[in-house]
Structure formats: structure tokens, C-alpha cells
Amino acid sequence: MSPDPRQLRKLGFLTIGLFDEADPRRGHESTLDLITLGERLGFDSAWLRHRHLQYGISSPVAVLAAATQRTSRIRLGTAVTPLGWENPLRLAEDLATVDVLSGGRLEPGFSVGPPVHYEHVRGALYPDTAEHEDFSHRRAERLLALVRGEDASGFAGTEGIEVYSRRVQPHSPGLASRLWYGAGSLHSARWAGEHGLNLLTSSVVKAETDDVAPDFAAVQAHQIRAFRERHPDGERARVSQGLVVIPTDTATPEQRTKYEAYARSRTPRTLAPQGPARLLFAPDLVGTTEQLVERLQAHAGYREVDEVAFALPFSFEHRDYVQILTDLATRLGPALGWQPSAAAEGRPAAEG
């Protein structure tokens, strides 16, 4: 454990953007409303998960493009885009376009590996190239090179009235410095550091020892330190942590009961590594600001960071998210040393 926790500088939140298949617009609008609420409350960032072939946002970049037109300050991130579903060249174009629209506020996070349930989707995703697709870090390196402005084409010039560029257009010069890698293993954390990326670490890490019950916080802290050891910026390298944190200060009794039941239902998976990959899940943190401050400041992973993007639970109602975000911004964040943006407007009460 480091001697003292770092003071929290940047507060963000992460959502899956759940929706009803019969009325998907309502769910997407709810997500956009949460992002605009986050801006009013002074949050530094709002992040969207990717959920392919599920009832969560499948195209965060498109939703964030809409969010750029409803906000002016809050940073907009993806946590994370699984590159196995993406063509790096096309993704680089989309990211640069949204970054330009946002005025340089995009914070794209990504990771590598085969798509989930690849055996079932490969025919639709890569019908002609499934056997040849490379899902290693080389795919990420292609994206990095393209975002950084390296050549995508061997041709540049004018044909008739058409003008062609060698590199991705639009080119957003600052975007490359805002790329994040979602790492859950020691190898990936070191790779991200070596490539000068920022690090997203979440509520899932990989247990890489034979311990029967490894400590999640200690594993996460070790990965963060390994990342910084390999990063050119060393101790100044950016790391954001994404635990599920649910403050209950202004929650109704019914909400508190629901939140506590949700956390209890997910506790068994936190007791030992899960599956062949030996994944470790962090317990969800539910409680008053005073209780959460105590638990976070004792958490070895949290003590290594000064940025967070606390994850909203998957299946709550919009009014629950409003209460949670309001308590995070007006109570927990300040208690951890964070200050809302000076541009934040008056903070709304916890209403749905």
C-alpha cells in the first residue's frame, strides 16, 4: 500500500446505456440526459460502455457525437471499445470526427482480444476473413498509428476535383494523447505503458498467481505500478479507476434496499477467481459518503489513482442514476478532495 492516497482530481462516471428493445430511443435519450446532468453537476467526464448484440449501447461513438451537441465542457469517453469488432482505419476516422465536433473533448478507451462469442458471430462479422483476423495488440498498434497521423494510404494528390490525403481525415492533433487502454492483466498494463497510453482499470482484473483468494485491490495496485514503471511519464502517467460505487446519502429507503440487494447478489463472484481466465471481480461499494470514503481510502488500487470513472449499475432506473450522480458530485467527490468544474451550473436535487 502506498503511504498516502492521492487526492482525487478528476471525477467521472460510466454507464452501459440500457434500453428496452421495444423502445430503444427512450433508453438512448436517458443516457444523453445523464451526460448533460453530469455536466451540470461538474463531473469531469462521462463514459459509455460497448454492448454488441445486447440491450445496451452498441455504438457509443455515435451517441457521443450526439452528446457533443448537448454539452460544452464535460469529457466524453468510451470504456472500452473492443477492437475485435472494429476496423482500425474506420474507427480512427469516426473518433477524429467526433473529437473535432466536441472541440477536443473525446477520451477514447479501447482493448484487444477476440469478440465475445466469436464462434457465433464470426460469420456475420468477418464472413471472408475470420481465419485471418489478428486480435492481438498489433490491431491496437494500427489504430494508434492512424490516430497519430501516420500514412493510411500510399497516394495523395488531386484527381479531377477530388483531393486525397495520405492520412486519416479529419486529423485531430491532440486526440492521440487522450487514448486510453483498458487493461486487466499485468502484460496489458505494461504494454499500455510502453506505448505511452493512458490506463483504464476497472472492477475486473486477472488473477495471475495461484492464490486461492487473491486480493483484488492488491492485484490492481500492482498492475497500476507496473504500468507507470513502463510509461515515459512515470508517476505522472494517467490512470483512471472504474469501481461500482453507489452512495446512499439522499436515497430513499426503497432505493437503499434495492442497492444493497444488488450488491449482495453480485458478491459471490468476488470471493474467488472466476473461469479459465481467473478473473477477479471487485465488490460493489454501497453506503453513505462517510462509509465510502473509508473503504476507498483503504483500497490499494484507489490509493494509486487521482482520476475515477465510477460505474453505474447495469439495471437501475433513471431516477436512481440521478440520485447516485447527484450524491457522487455533491457529497462523495468533495469528501475525497475533488472539486467540481467552475463551469458547473446549480446542482439539481435527486429527482427522477
CA neighbor of 41 nearest in space, from 253, 352, 342: 342
Give this prediction's pTM: 0.95
In a domain, 307, yes or no: yes
In a domain, 160, yes or no: no
- Count of CB atoms within 10 A of residue 187's CB? 14
In a domain, 158, yes or no: no
**Structural domain boundaries enclosing 122:** 10-150+168-335
Q: Please give the pLDDT value at position 208.
A: 87
3-state secondary structure of 207: coil
239: phi then psi, degrees, rounded to nearest 5 = -135, 135
In a domain, 162, yes or no: no
Q: Please give the pLDDT value at position 172.
A: 97
In a domain, 345, yes or no: no
Rg, the chain, Cα only: 20
Q: What is the pLDDT along the chain (352 residues), one digit of tens a residue?
A: 455 778 899 999 999 999 999 999 999 999 999 999 999 999 999 999 999 999 999 999 999 999 999 999 999 999 999 999 999 999 999 999 999 999 999 999 999 999 999 999 999 999 999 999 999 999 999 999 999 999 999 999 999 999 999 999 999 999 999 999 999 999 999 999 999 999 999 999 999 887 767 899 999 999 999 999 999 999 999 999 999 999 999 999 999 999 999 999 999 999 999 999 999 999 999 999 999 999 999 999 999 999 999 999 999 999 999 999 999 999 999 999 999 986 665 444 333 3
Q: How far apart are CA 342 and CA 321, in angstroms?
A: 23
Q: Please give the pLDDT value at position 352.
A: 35
Quote the cell numbers at residue 162: 477530388
Q: Please give the pLDDT value at position 345.
A: 56
In a domain, 325, yes or no: yes
Quote the cell numbers at residue 119: 464462434
In a domain, 319, yes or no: yes
CATH classification at residue 238: 3.20.20.30
Q: Please give the pLDDT value at position 212.
A: 67
Domain count, the chain: 1
Q: Please give the pLDDT value at position 80.
A: 97
Inter-residue contact 110 to 191 (CB < 8 Å): no
Q: Write the single-letter amino acid at 155.
A: F
Q: Please give the pLDDT value at position 4.
A: 77
Residue that the C-alpha cell 460493489 belongs to = 284
In a domain, 212, yes or no: yes
Q: Please give the pLDDT value at position 3.
A: 54
